[in-house]
Structure 1
Amino acid sequence: MKRPQRKTFMRHLELELFGTSLSGRVLWLTVAIILGVELVLLTPMLGNERQHWLWDHISLAHIAALSAAIPQNNNLAPPPAQFLPQLPDVEAIKLTLPDSTVRQVASGRIAQPARLIYLAHETVLYSSWRALQRIAGLGAARIEVIAPSPLQAGATVDIIANAAPLNKDLRGYASHLAVISLIVALVTGLLLFAALNRLLVRPMRIMTESISGFRNDPEHAGQSELTSLAARGDDEIAQAAQELKEMLETMRTALWRNARLAALGTSVAKISHDLRNILSSALLVASHLQDSTDPSAQRAAHTLGGAVERAVQLVSRTVDFAREGPPAIIRTPVCLRDVLDEAILAVRPDGAVITIENHVPAELVLPLDRMQIYRVLLNLLRNAAEAGAKAVVVTAETETDAPKIIVTDYGPGLPPRVLQNLFKPFAGSGRQGSSGLGLVISRDLMRAHGGELTLAQTGPLGTVFVLELSGSDMPAPALPLPQTPYKSTGPMEFF
């Protein structure tokens, strides 16, 4: 069992080091940066190595000239070759002493040198540039070097030398530096790779795997590693892991709740057909009872009919809310005033008297789903009637690019408990036995149209709802309620 695990680990490590993973990219980027920095820092060392080679030859040439002890006047004469046994690459030496005495040593016929070097005037930067040229094979084959002798103040040494040994020495030194630089870069990169892999890459992999596991199996995805990562400290990674853990838990709870609602919707949808058949029979009995001459039977029929109608509405709303996806919208040119008139005619509050004024202009025609807008308006009017409003005024704002329908009811206003759960399913109703789905479904229908349903104002003088008929994301303005009791300003309809 250990061998497959080891093989898997080695393959994973190989993918991290040489693949397209973030840790592998960090490793090789680190190595490249370190090599670049070392190239900049180590280039002056090549210049120093070149200068050391030249100064060493100047010193050895001084000693060789003194050993030869053959003074010449202003010319380089070829002495015996044995005077240059330690400097095989030096062809000639000229030593000028402080008293202007000149001593010369030559190994044979001297060719004209290709480059003259005044060593005392060279800077490290210039010497580094010349060293790089020699490593690249671009330097002259012979050089003449003139420098003050480091062995005797006031003495000057002039040598002619073959530059091939200098090229070889610089290339060997550069190779040595390159090997050391590569080893340092690799070791540093691996250490940085291990640190980043521990501190950043591994936590990112844990969070990525948690997200992937949640996507594949939201209900059973484990979060043990994510929990341990969130508990490791107060750094940014731990905070991100904690936020991710809480988000996944919230989403799991929401998915569970939605699954329950979907299951509820499926169950209700399956039984709704049979339930409506049963309720149809009850409505048929109620209609027969209404034909009776007995007043008590008529009252019972009226009560039975209302109860059956409310049951049908509850089933329909539950099915609509539990249906997956937004409601289907079929747009046609709709005259909002006509739709509102139909909704007003459909409002039948039990034992209540309400006046409803329709001030929507007849020329306001928009591309809407007539049935869905009708449902929204009907729900708002019924809510106002059942809340005890004595009057409702419906107006429109068409001056802007976002037309609004404003529904103002002159009732007691919404209680605080209802305001806290206004658009929450099964929790936002202020009436006993109501599902609280009416406003939720109405808002979903408005959003499906690209608009919005908002509560603009509520209080003891009444409540104002605003229907935005555009895709604007701006919140609806708070519309002031009238500060005086309702007074009719035109024809009214009584129900």
Structure 2
Amino acid sequence: MPGWSAARIPAGISTRFQRPKASWIPRPSNGTSASTAGIAIITPSRSRRTNSSSRTWPADRRKGSGDPSPAMLIRSLSARLLVLTVFFVMLSEVLIFVPSVARFRMTYFDNHLAAGHLASLALAASPTGKLDQPMTNLILRDVGAHAVILHRPNGMVFMLDSPVAPQPDVTFDLTKGNIPIWIQRSIETLARSDNRTMRVIGPAPTEPGATVELLLDEAPLRHEMWNFGVRILELSIVISLTTAALVYLSLQWLLVRPMRRITDSMTLFRQDPEDATRRIAPSGRRDEIGRAESELAVLQETVRQALAQRARLAALGTAVTKINHDLRAILSTARLVSDGLADSAAPEVRRVAPRLFEAIDRAVALCTRTLDFSREGAPPFTPSRFDLRPLIEEIGPAVASDNGLAVEPAIPHGLIVRADRDQLFRVLLNLAQNAVEAGAQHVRFTTDVSDGIVTLDIADDGHGLPPRARENLFRPFFGSARLGGTGLGLAIARELMRGQGGDLVLVDSTGAGTTFRLTLPAAEALQATAHRATA
């Protein structure tokens, strides 16, 4: 009889519905279950948002030259991170949504199986083993199913069905399957638009060994799943906006504001680098921002000192220009006198005259090249091949010394080097003169040739360089070894050597003396350097 039945069916034989298929008319579903005849059904309920999120747009905009425009805010690092944060949070929520909606579908089935099991227990507890049709329809409506079947381990089957129960279109056995299959079926349910009749088989919640079969419509399930997806989307938007706002505020406080402060300091410093008050004051932070501030402060101070030094060099160039003009007039007179001495018959005069001529020529060249150096840096050089030992032998007579300076050229005869002879003489003379000023009475020149590199060591027996001079040895105006010195001599000497592709370095300086090392590259490298210098 329709409405109820209780029969013993042999185990292993499944129940099939033979009634003709009927159309299903959707009934309004409020998402809740009614409690009728002592049957309590728990179904997934739709939660409402009880609070609305208010947007907080941090506006950390300072007045002044560093005030960012709206376009700069959109292109700023914090705005990009804000967008990326929202994107990645939403992406994470999408990845979480797929297994979550599959779990929601399983919970939906479990709740309906539990409700169907309770409904079948009402039939089993009936004294007559049957229920009238109105009560059956009421129970099935509260369960949300067309039919409920309870299979007990002893073979008893209790079935509640309606007179127009449709045939199932698809069967879902919850005792089988795995997570990927559940996810696939959940996506299929969301993608469909028709209303299939589902046959759902699952274990009875409180009766071990028993199984429950339900005949459910798919449309209510899809509706609840879409509602669940909307709630997840709303929650994801709230979480992403909240997270993005917190990240934005944190970046503004920890990164953007300090970087804007550094940028403003750089802008102000660029406008007037020589103003010492425009140097950034480090905040004392111990992270990367604090280190950047400290390094920027050091850089600004270094640039300021370099500009001050450049200004002093410019003033020096002006002074050298005036001195060069006056000295040329004096040397012109000396040239006339020396020309007269050249015709003298006295042997001593004829012996000294060539050295006097060379000294005058070097004085004129020195003024001209010093002027060029103060204007443009190291002067161009003209390399030539010459014997190094005769050049060293000219150092002793050229050094201004009251007690005389013993120059020991421990250099073999015939050591041919290729360099600018006048500039090399100027460098060696400067080193020898410094040795005399340091109290030296003996200077030893030694050479070594290795891999086409000529190394010339100049060692003296003076009292050495003071610590301050060693720390700033080749810096103009800082590396002077004597009181009142400018420190230009060694700076110019190194510049002259580097202009030829070599170098000048300090090897050692103690109370027993000082040793400098001068290096020159091979002839091939010198030719390439000379070509670049004259190009």
TM-score with structure 1 setting the length: 0.70
Q: Secondary structure at the match of 1:143?
A: strand
Q: Which residue of 2 aligns with 1:245?
A: 297
Out of 476, 488, 494, the position equivalent to 1:425 is 476
Out of 112, 116, 139, the position equivalent to 2:172 is 116
Give the partner amino acid of 1:412: G
Out of 301, 305, 309, the position equivalent to 1:257 is 309
Judged with a 3 Å threshold, the aligned counterparts in structure 2 of structure 1 residues 62 and 434 are, in CA distance, closer, same or farther, namely: closer
Q: Which residue of 2 aligns with 1:404?
A: 455
Q: Which has the higher contact order (CA 8 A, sep 6+)?
A: 2
Q: Does 1:373 align with 2:424?
A: yes
1:52 Cα offset (Å): 2.5
Give the partner amino acid of 1:214: F
Corresponding pairs, count: 442
The answer to whether the 8 Å contact 2:462/2:513 transfers is yes
Out of 246, 260, 267, the position equivalent to 1:191 is 246
Give the partner amino acid of 1:455: L
Judged with a 3 Å threshold, the aligned counterparts in structure 2 of structure 1 residues 247 and 10 are, in CA distance, closer, same or farther, namely: closer
Give the partner amino acid of 2:315: A
Q: Give CA deviations for 1:42-94 in whole Å, capped at 9, x if unaligned.
A: 5443233212221232244346557789x9xxxxxx99995676269744332
Out of 86, 105, 127, the position equivalent to 2:161 is 105
Q: Give CA deviations for 1:403-445 in whole Å, capped at 9, x if unaligned.
A: 3112234x43435378546434356556787654322211111
1:152 Cα offset (Å): 5.9
Give the whole-Å Cα distance in 1 for the aligned partners of 2:170 and 2:381. Answer: 91
Give the whole-Å Cα distance in 1 for the aligned partners of 2:482 and 2:336. Answer: 28
The residue correspondences of 1:209-248 to structure 2 (distance < 5 A) are 209-220=264-275, 223=278, 226-227=280-281, 230-231=282-283, 235-248=287-300
Q: Does 1:168 align with 2:220?
A: no
Q: Give CA deviations for 1:12-57 in whole Å, capped at 9, x if unaligned.
A: 35643x42x3212322232233334444555443233212221232
The answer to whether the 8 Å contact 1:347/1:381 transfers is no
Higher mean alpha-carbon deviation, 435-444 vs 179-188, is at 435-444
Q: Does 1:268 align with 2:342?
A: no
Give the whole-Å Cα distance in 1 for the aligned partners of 2:145 and 2:71. Answer: 54
Give the whole-Å Cα distance in 2 for the aligned partners of 1:234 and 1:52. Answer: 52
**Identity percentage over the alignment?**
31
Give the partner amino acid of 1:160: L
Give the partner amino acid of 1:257: Q
Give the whole-Å Cα distance in 1 for the aligned partners of 2:364 and 2:378. Answer: 22
The answer to whether the 8 Å contact 1:147/1:156 transfers is yes
Q: Secondary structure at the match of 2:141?
A: coil
The residue correspondences of 1:50-61 to structure 2 (distance < 5 A) are 50-61=105-116
Q: Secondary structure at the match of 1:323?
A: helix
Give the partner amino acid of 1:181: S
Q: Does 1:12 align with 2:72?
A: no
Higher mean alpha-carbon deviation, 372-381 vs 187-196, is at 372-381
Give the whole-Å Cα distance in 2 for the aligned partners of 1:278 and 1:372. Answer: 23
The answer to whether the 8 Å contact 1:68/1:83 transfers is no
Give the partner amino acid of 1:22: L
The residue correspondences of 1:471-490 to structure 2 (distance < 5 A) are none
The answer to whether the 8 Å contact 2:145/2:215 transfers is yes
- Unmatched runs of 5 consecutive residues or more in structure 2: 1-60, 127-132, 343-348, 523-535
Give the whole-Å Cα distance in 2 for the aligned partners of 1:190 and 1:34. Answer: 12
TM-score with structure 2 setting the length: 0.66
1:136 Cα offset (Å): 4.1
Judged with a 3 Å threshold, the aligned counterparts in structure 2 of structure 1 residues 140 and 11 are, in CA distance, closer, same or farther, namely: farther
Q: Secondary structure at the match of 1:86?
A: helix
- Unmatched runs of 5 consecutive residues or more in structure 1: 72-77, 292-297, 472-495
Out of 371, 379, 385, the position equivalent to 1:334 is 385
1:148 Cα offset (Å): 3.0
CA RMSD of aligned residues (A): 4.8
The answer to whether the 8 Å contact 1:84/1:107 transfers is no
Give the partner amino acid of 1:260: R
Q: Secondary structure at the match of 1:213?
A: helix
Higher mean alpha-carbon deviation, 109-118 vs 431-440, is at 431-440
The residue correspondences of 1:103-182 to structure 2 (distance < 5 A) are 103-108=159-164, 110-118=166-174, 120=175, 127-128=182-183, 130-137=185-192, 141-150=196-205, 155-182=210-237
Q: Give CA deviations for 1:245-301 in whole Å, capped at 9, x if unaligned.
A: 243134223312322322332x1254244322442366369769999xxxxxx9xxx
Q: Which residue of 1 aligns with 2:53?
A: none
Q: Which residue of 2 aligns with 1:444?
A: 495
Q: Does 1:455 align with 2:510?
A: no
Give the whole-Å Cα distance in 1 for the aligned partners of 2:66 and 2:473. Answer: 55
Give the whole-Å Cα distance in 2 for the aligned partners of 1:432 and 1:56. Answer: 98
Q: Secondary structure at the match of 1:407?
A: strand
